[in-house]
């Protein structure tokens, strides 16, 4: 397994989601497609996080790990910097998952509000803002 | 000695009369409209008295009265001033304008009685008199130009006074446009001076001051200062431009066509504006810039030849016209040509003297024509005749003026015409010879046409007047054969006095022969006091005087044979020279040439229609095309703005994709 495979997979998921988001008329389907796009992005982030590491760590992971462990034990700033660099992708993914959960909750609320008002969940009918 | 405020009042009084009549009398006091006439007479009368004072002061001062210029505008280091130039030429013109105007205003009291626009008439007459006086008094060429246009405006307003008559409206427009053509030349002359302002400013002179223009044209050493003259090319072009203005205003060939048509205006207007004053503004203008003209032989020759040709050319048309006012109009054009001719051959004093005399007797002739119209209701001489019996006073004054204009000793016209002929003869050279013979032939024709008019109007049997003319539009007085009221006859009698005696002012006789009253060469010496003018008063040339009198008598005799004694049939003479007669009768087809060929075919069909085509097919299409483009582009772009979030999303995605692809290829 290498980075390219993950990125291709991520691209496929994202594209499927994008296609769905742009082509489906049902709001529920659109929301589901958006979830797919989120997850495509998440995969990419995790993959990058896993495979792209600073050069010094990649050159000698064992020495680097020791250095970081020592720094962490001594409580210097270097340790936290390295950790946050290594963990940025994962943290982003967690954020996205959280946001996505909130978005779905909000989106479904809007869908229900729209359905109450217009008795449809067809996005093409949601054009009140058109000039 | 006159002071400057009084000189300004000469111009401001008639102007005040115009303002009061048009702003107060006409809107609020129209039931007292007769007072507008009195007010005008009062204002012009006061101006006349002040003018006499001005002339007296100029005489006492022996030349120009120097007054400071008042600053009006400053353009950089160039100043345009307002002010009065009071020299003998100005003083003489002031007398001419105010006296003839006064006589005409009194006459108008009778002539215009009962006209629905009585107040408007006097308002315009006041405006005209004020502008003409302003023109004469101006010390600055820009100031002069402003008044020059104002007299043109008042002329337009008064020719079209009866604006509900289409002929009058058309004549007013024609006069305005034709004189404007000349005025463009005048303006170009002024602009050319402006472009050569460095030549003036470097010597501390002002290119717009009339005195400075004449000074620099004169050149040489003046008052101990060496003046560098203008280049002869510059002087010639400026002089030609100024002369173009004079040609328009003084109705010289080829811009003579407007003056005969201007006879559509009321007759007192013709007498004042189109005989005595405004039309001589052109002659005055050339006289005003005489040193400038004198500095260029080319310009002088142009003036002489145009003047001489106009004198003879207009006279031939005067021979055949049937409308008495048109005969007089062509006579005016011809006499103005005489004055121009005199200026062109350097006979400055003769030209101004003729201007002076001509103003009185030509105004008198016009007033006579108006008086005749008052009785017969027409201006067409074919329907007049025999009026001598009914209006003896009009007849006598008309006869005096006719003898005077013919140049019979000892009336006014004789003296000035003689001086002009002598001037042309003494000028010598081809030009002098040419214009001398032109002037002599014109003198013969003048005597003939004016007596033709006299015999047709006053002698023989009455031929029915306006009633016989059926359906004429000449004012609708109807025929009532009687002398005109005193208010009309009295000014004519007053004008008859200078028509007889004004010639003596020149007095070319030796004191030994002495008329005793007027010193020898009084008028010439007066004009000799104008700055940079040198006059050459000639002693009376007996051969010339005798010759010109014989020529004039021959003209009168021929008119007598044809129209009084009926020994020679005019019809047979006309038949014998049919082509020439027709050409003169049709005014040499100049109206057709200008209106049909130049205006309709040249301007309308050629210029106007082609510019119209360009406008419609190119300019308009560009405009409409831009409009269509905007609308179509707007429609296309509007289709993108469909309110569908998904469409926007698609657009955004495709856009990002395109950017990415382009970006990656770029790198």
Q: Which two tokens stand for residue B573?
A: 């003479």
B78 against A84, higher pLDDT: B78
Three-state helix/strand/coil letters over B533-566? CCCCCCCCCHHHHHHHHHHHHHHHHHHHHHHCCC
The residue ranges of DSSP E strands in B358-516, in sequence order, are none
* Cα(B45)–Cα(B49) distance, integer angstroms: 6
Instruction: Work out the pLDDT band at A131, boundaries 50, 70, 90.
Output: low
* pLDDT at residue B476, as a whole number: 46
Look up the CATH number of the domain holding residue A118: 1.10.287.3510
What residues of chain B lie within 8 A of the CB of A131, using their CB? 641, 643
CA distance A66 to chain B (A): 40
- How many contacts does A have with B, using Cβ atoms within 8 A? 25
Q: For residue A23, give the chain B residue with the closest CA.
A: B646
The answer, yes or no, to whether residue B66 has pLDDT greater than 60, is: yes
Tell me how many helices (H) and strands (E) chain B has. 30, 4
* Cα(B296)–Cα(B301) distance, integer angstroms: 9
Q: Do B641 and A130 touch (CB under 8 A)?
A: yes
In sign, the C-alpha dihedral spanning A15, A16, A19, A20 is negative
The answer, yes or no, to whether residue A1 has pLDDT greater than 80, is: no
Residue A64 lies in a domain: no
Q: Which two tokens stand for residue B633?
A: 């582009």
Q: For residue A24, give the chain B residue with the closest CA.
A: B646
Closest CA to B647 of A131, A130, A23, A120: A23
What residues of chain A lie within 8 A of the CB of B657, using their CB? none
Report yes or no: B660 at the A interface, CB cutoff 8 Å: no
Q: For residue B650, give the chain A residue with the closest CA.
A: A22
In sign, the C-alpha dihedral spanning A71, A74, A77, A81 is positive
Q: Which two tokens stand for residue B279?
A: 């039309």
Q: What are the tens digits of pLDDT across the range B272-303?
A: 988 888 999 999 999 999 989 988 889 999 99
* pLDDT at residue B474, as a whole number: 45
Q: Which two tokens stand for residue A1?
A: 């397994």
CB distance B356 to B280 below 8 Å: no
Residue A48 lies in a domain: yes
A80 against B512, higher pLDDT: A80
Residue A65 lies in a domain: no
Report yes or no: B653 at the A interface, CB cutoff 8 Å: yes
Could you give the ipTM of this predicted complex? 0.76
What residues of chain A lie within 8 A of the CB of B649, using their CB? 21-22
Q: What are phi and psi of B387, to 5 degrees?
A: -75, -15
List the single residue in A21, A23, A131 with the smallest CB-CB distance to B641.
A131
Mark out chain A residues that contact chain B at CB-CB < 8 A.
Answer: 18, 21-23, 30, 123-124, 126-131
The answer, yes or no, to whether residue B108 has pLDDT greater than 70, is: yes
pTM for the predicted model, two decimal places: 0.77
Mean pLDDT of chain B: 87
Instruction: Work out the pLDDT band at B471, boundaries 50, 70, 90.
Output: low
Q: Do A126 and B641 touch (CB under 8 A)?
A: no
What residues of chain B lie within 8 A of the CB of A26, using their CB? none
Q: Which two tokens stand for residue B3?
A: 């002071």
Q: For B112-165, where are the alpha helices, taking DSSP H only?
A: 118-137, 141-159
The answer, yes or no, to whether residue A95 has pLDDT greater than 90, is: yes
The answer, yes or no, to whether residue B465 has pLDDT greater than 90, is: no
* pLDDT at residue B520, as a whole number: 72
High-pLDDT (> 90) share of chain A, %: 41
CB distance B322 to B349 below 8 Å: no
* pLDDT at residue B408, as a whole number: 86
CB distance B305 to B435 below 8 Å: yes
* Cα(A13)–Cα(B269) distance, integer angstroms: 101
Instruction: Work out the pLDDT band at A118, boundaries 50, 70, 90.
Output: confident
CB distance B338 to B350 below 8 Å: no
Residue A114 lies in a domain: yes
Residue A26 lies in a domain: yes
* Cα(B121)–Cα(B129) distance, integer angstroms: 12
Q: What are phi and psi of B429, to 5 degrees?
A: 70, 180
DSSP class of residue B602 equals I
Instruction: Work out the pLDDT band at B478, boundaries 50, 70, 90.
Output: low
The residue-averaged pLDDT of B200-209 equals 86
DSSP class of residue B607 equals I
* Cα(B88)–Cα(B63) distance, integer angstroms: 6
Q: Which two tokens stand for residue B266?
A: 């009321």
CB distance B336 to B347 below 8 Å: no
Report yes or no: B641 at the A interface, CB cutoff 8 Å: yes
Report yes or no: B652 at the A interface, CB cutoff 8 Å: no
Cα distances from B509 to residues A118, B398, B423, B550, in angstroms, run 119, 28, 16, 20
CB distance B158 to B124 below 8 Å: yes
**Length of chain B in residues, anyone?**
667
The answer, yes or no, to whether residue B515 has pLDDT greater than 60, is: no
CA distance A92 to chain B (A): 23
The CB density around residue B538, as the number of other CB atoms within 10 Å, is: 19
How open is the CA angle A67-A70-A73, to the nearest 5 degrees? 150
Instruction: Work out the pLDDT band at B340, boundaries 50, 70, 90.
Output: very high
What 3-state DSSP class applies to B282?
helix
Cα distances from B213 to residues B136, B238, B270, B347, in angstroms, run 17, 10, 33, 20
CA distance A69 to chain B (A): 41
How open is the CA angle B264-B265-B269, to the nearest 5 degrees? 140
The residue-averaged pLDDT of B543-559 equals 89
Q: For residue B643, give the chain A residue with the closest CA.
A: A130
Q: Do B643 and A127 touch (CB under 8 A)?
A: yes
Q: For residue B652, give the chain A residue with the closest CA.
A: A22
For residue B141, the Cα-to-chain-centroid distance in whole angstroms is: 17
Domain total in chain A:
1
Residue A74 lies in a domain: no
Q: Do B653 and A127 touch (CB under 8 A)?
A: no
List the single residue in B642, B646, B649 with the smallest CB-CB distance to A130.
B642
Cα distances from B449 to residues B310, B341, B420, B578, B583, in angstroms, run 16, 21, 20, 18, 17
* Cα(B155)–Cα(B136) distance, integer angstroms: 16
The answer, yes or no, to whether residue B322 has pLDDT greater than 50, is: yes
**Structural domain boundaries enclosing A32:** 3-53+85-125
Q: Which two tokens stand for residue A55?
A: 């050069």
High-pLDDT (> 90) share of chain B, %: 41
Q: For residue A19, give the chain B residue with the closest CA.
A: B650
Q: Which two tokens stand for residue B527?
A: 């004009």
Tokens 């997850």 belong to A39
The residue-averaged pLDDT of B595-602 equals 83
What residues of chain B lie within 8 A of the CB of A111, using their CB? none
* Cα(B331)–Cα(B442) distance, integer angstroms: 10
* pLDDT at residue A130, as a whole number: 63
Q: Do B643 and A23 touch (CB under 8 A)?
A: no
What residues of chain B lie within 8 A of the CB of A15, using their CB? none
* Cα(B162)–Cα(B116) distance, integer angstroms: 10
The answer, yes or no, to whether residue A79 has pLDDT greater than 80, is: no
List the single residue in B641, B642, B649 with the smallest CB-CB distance to A22.
B649
The answer, yes or no, to whether residue B470 has pLDDT greater than 70, is: no
* pLDDT at residue B475, as a whole number: 47
Residue A66 lies in a domain: no
List the single residue in A18, A30, A129 with the smallest CB-CB distance to B643.
A129
* Cα(B408)–Cα(B545) distance, integer angstroms: 9
* Cα(A8)–Cα(A21) distance, integer angstroms: 20
Range name among B177-181, B198-202, B492-496 with the lowest pLDDT average:
B198-202
Q: What are the tens digits of pLDDT across the range A3-54?
A: 899 999 999 999 999 999 999 988 899 999 999 999 999 999 999 888 887 7
What residues of chain B lie within 8 A of the CB of A22, using their CB? 646, 649-650, 653
Report yes or no: B31 at the A interface, CB cutoff 8 Å: no
In sign, the C-alpha dihedral spanning B147, B152, B155, B161 is negative
List the single residue in A23, A123, A131 with the smallest CB-CB distance to B645.
A123
Cα distances from B445 to residues B434, B558, B567, in angstroms, run 17, 10, 19
Q: Do B644 and A131 touch (CB under 8 A)?
A: no
* Cα(B582)–Cα(B614) distance, integer angstroms: 42
Residue A69 lies in a domain: no
In sign, the C-alpha dihedral spanning B301, B303, B307, B309 is positive
The answer, yes or no, to whether residue B214 has pLDDT greater than 50, is: yes
The answer, yes or no, to whether residue B221 has pLDDT greater than 80, is: no
């Amino acid at each position: 397994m290498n980075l390219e495979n993950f990125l291709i997979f991520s691209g496929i998921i994202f594209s499927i989601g994008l296609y769905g988001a742009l082509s489906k008329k049902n709001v529920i389907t659109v929301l589901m497609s958006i979830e797919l796009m989120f997850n495509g992005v998440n995969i990419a982030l995790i993959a990058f996080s896993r495979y792209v590491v600073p050069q010094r760590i990649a050159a000698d992971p064992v020495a680097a790990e020791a250095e970081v462990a020592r720094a962490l034990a001594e409580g210097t700033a270097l340790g936290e910097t390295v950790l946050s660099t290594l963990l940025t992708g994962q943290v982003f993914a967690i954020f996205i998952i959280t946001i996505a959960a909130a978005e779905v909750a909000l989106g479904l609320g809007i869908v229900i509000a729209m359905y109450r008002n217009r008795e449809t969940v067809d996005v093409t009918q949601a054009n009140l803002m058109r000039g | 000695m006159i002071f400057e405020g009084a000189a300004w009042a000469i111009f401001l009084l008639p102007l005040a009369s115009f303002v009061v009549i048009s702003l107060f009398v006409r809107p609020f006091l129209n039931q007292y409209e007769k007072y507008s006439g009195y007010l005008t007479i009062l204002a012009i009368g006061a101006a006349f008295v002040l003018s006499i004072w001005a002339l007296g002061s100029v005489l006492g001062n022996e030349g120009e009265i120097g007054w400071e210029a008042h600053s009006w505008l400053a353009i950089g280091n160039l100043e345009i001033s307002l002010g009065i130039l009071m020299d003998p030429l100005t003083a003489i013109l002031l007398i001419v304008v105010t006296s003839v105007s006064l006589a005409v205003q009194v006459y108008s009291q009778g002539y215009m009685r009962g006209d629905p626009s009585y107040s408007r008439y006097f308002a315009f007459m006041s405006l005209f008199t004020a502008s003409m006086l302003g023109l004469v008094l101006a010390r600055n060429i820009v100031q002069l130009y402003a008044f020059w246009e104002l007299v043109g405006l008042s002329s337009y307003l008064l020719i079209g006074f009866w604006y509900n008559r289409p002929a009058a409206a058309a004549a007013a427009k024609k006069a305005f446009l034709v004189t404007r053509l000349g005025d463009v030349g005048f303006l170009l002359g002024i602009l050319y001076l402006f472009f050569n302002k460095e030549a003036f400013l470097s010597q501390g002179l002002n290119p717009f001051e009339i005195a400075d223009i004449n000074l620099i044209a004169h050149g040489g050493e003046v008052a101990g200062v060496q003046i560098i003259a203008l280049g002869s090319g510059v002087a010639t072009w400026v002089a030609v431009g100024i002369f173009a203005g004079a040609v328009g205003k003084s109705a010289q060939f080829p811009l003579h066509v407007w003056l005969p048509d201007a006879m559509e205006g009321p007759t007192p207007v013709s007498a004042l504006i189109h005989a005595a004053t405004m039309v001589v503004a052109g002659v005055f203008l050339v006289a005003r810039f005489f040193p400038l003209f004198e500095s260029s032989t080319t310009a002088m020759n142009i003036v002489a030849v145009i003047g001489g040709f106009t004198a003879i050319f207009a006279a031939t048309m005067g021979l055949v016209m049937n409308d008495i006012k048109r005969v007089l109009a062509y006579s005016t054009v011809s006499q103005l040509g005489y004055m121009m001719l005199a200026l062109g051959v350097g006979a400055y004093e003769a030209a101004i003297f003729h201007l002076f005399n001509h103003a009185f007797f030509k105004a008198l002739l016009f007033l006579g024509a108006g008086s005749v119209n008052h009785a017969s209701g027409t201006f067409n001489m074919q329907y007049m005749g025999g009026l001598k019996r009914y209006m003896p006073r009009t007849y006598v004054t008309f006869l005096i003026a006719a003898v005077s204009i013919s140049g019979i000793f000892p009336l006014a016209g004789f003296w000035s015409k003689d001086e002009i002929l002598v001037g042309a003869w003494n000028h010598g050279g081809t030009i002098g010879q040419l214009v001398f013979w032109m002037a002599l032939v014109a003198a013969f024709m003048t005597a003939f046409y004016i007596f033709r008019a006299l015999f047709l109007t006053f002698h023989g049997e009455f031929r029915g007047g306006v009633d016989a003319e059926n359906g004429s539009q000449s004012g609708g007085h109807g025929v009532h054969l009687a002398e005109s009221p005193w208010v009309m006859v009295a000014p004519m009698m007053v004008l008859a006095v200078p028509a007889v005696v004004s010639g003596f002012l020149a007095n070319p006789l030796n004191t030994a022969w002495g008329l005793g009253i007027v010193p020898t060469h009084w008028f010439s010496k007066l004009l000799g006091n104008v700055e940079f003018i040198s006059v050459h008063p000639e002693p009376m040339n007996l051969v010339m005087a005798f010759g010109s009198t014989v020529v004039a008598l021959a003209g009168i005799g021929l008119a007598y044979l044809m129209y009084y004694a009926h020994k020679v049939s005019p019809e047979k003479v006309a038949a014998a020279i049919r082509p020439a007669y027709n050409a003169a009768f049709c005014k040499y087809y100049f109206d057709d040439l200008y209106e049909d060929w130049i205006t309709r075919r040249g301007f309308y069909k050629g210029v106007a229609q082609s510019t119209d085509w360009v406008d419609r097919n190119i300019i308009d299409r560009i405009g409409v095309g831009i409009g269509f483009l905007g609308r179509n582009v707007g429609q296309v772009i509007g289709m993108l703005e469909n309110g569908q979030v998904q469409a926007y999303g698609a657009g955004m995605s495709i856009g990002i994709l395109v950017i990415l692809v382009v970006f990656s290829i770029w790198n």
